[in-house]
């Protein structure tokens, strides 16, 4: 039986990041994980970085409207997040060389360290950046 899922569409504006955080916390709460739990903080930070990237780097020039999709799916203890944007000409890259230059280039490093795994799937238009994190795995004693 499929686990609980949520799917949202947001406009490509900075305000969408806060909405995605809020929607994510609501979904986690529905799944029995409170906002005070470390897992919730970590997963919401991952989502926040991916949605921030989608609204800043993942926007095709001249487009507007509800162009960023976010979904969260719970499969057993694994939460899978997907963030879809509409910019096909640029892809996410871990940019080590840029760290320290202008303060940017850290978001995906946070995603890389907080998520169990993440990746990118090209779509017909744009791409989906996904990340997975297992609740209750590997946090004890770290
Ligand atoms: N959804 C996306 N679409 C296109 N390019 C992306 C996307 N996400 C990330 N990138 C590219 O990957 C780079 C690294 O992303 P990252 O989130 O690590 O850094 P940043 O967004 O530039 O800065 P920061 O997140 O630290 O504010 C970005 O600068 C951008 O070039
Ligand atoms: Mg970023």
Query: Domains in the chain, start-ordered, CATH in brackets?
Result: 5-134 (3.30.565.10)
pLDDT tens-digit readout, 51-96:
999 999 988 776 666 689 999 999 999 999 999 998 878 899 987 7
**What residues have CB less than 8 Å from 100, skipping those under 6 apart?**
none
Of 106, 79, 76, which is closest to residue 93 (Cα–Cα)? 106
pLDDT value at residue 96: 73
pTM of the model: 0.93
Q: Rg (Cα) of the chain, in Å, rounded?
A: 15
- pLDDT score of 19 more than 60: yes
- What is the 18 CA–ligand 2 centroid distance (Å)? 15
Is the CB of 106 inside a 6 Å radius of any atom of ligand 1? yes
Pocket probe for ligand 1: among 105, 112, 126, 128, the residue whose CB has the most ligand atoms within 8 Å is 105
Rounded distance, CA 73 to CA 140, Å? 24
142 pLDDT band, cuts 50/70/90, is very low
Is the CB of 126 inside a 6 Å radius of any atom of ligand 1? no
For atom 6 of ligand 1, the residue with the nearest CA is 92
Answer yes or no: are the C-beta atoms of 15 and 81 closer than 8 Å: no
Share of residues in the chain with pLDDT > 90 (%): 72
pLDDT value at residue 119: 98
Answer yes or no: are the C-beta atoms of 111 and 118 closer than 8 Å: yes
């Amino acid at each position: 039986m499929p686990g609980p899922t949520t799917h949202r569409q947001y406009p490509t504006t900075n305000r969408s990041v806060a909405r995605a955080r809020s929607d994510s916390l609501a979904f986690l709460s529905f799944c029995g994980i409170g906002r005070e739990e470390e897992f919730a903080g970590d997963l919401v930070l991952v989502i926040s970085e991916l949605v921030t990237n989608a609204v800043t780097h993942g926007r095709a020039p001249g487009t507007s409207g509800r162009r960023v999709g976010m979904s969260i799916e719970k499969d057993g203890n694994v939460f899978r997040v997907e963030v879809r944007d509409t910019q096909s000409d640029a892809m996410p890259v871990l940019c080590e060389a840029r760290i320290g230059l202008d303060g940017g280039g850290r978001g995906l490093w946070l995603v890389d360290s907080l998520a169990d795994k993440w990746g990118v799937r090209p779509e017909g238009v744009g791409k989906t950046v996904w990340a997975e994190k297992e609740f209750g795995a590997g946090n004890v004693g770290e």
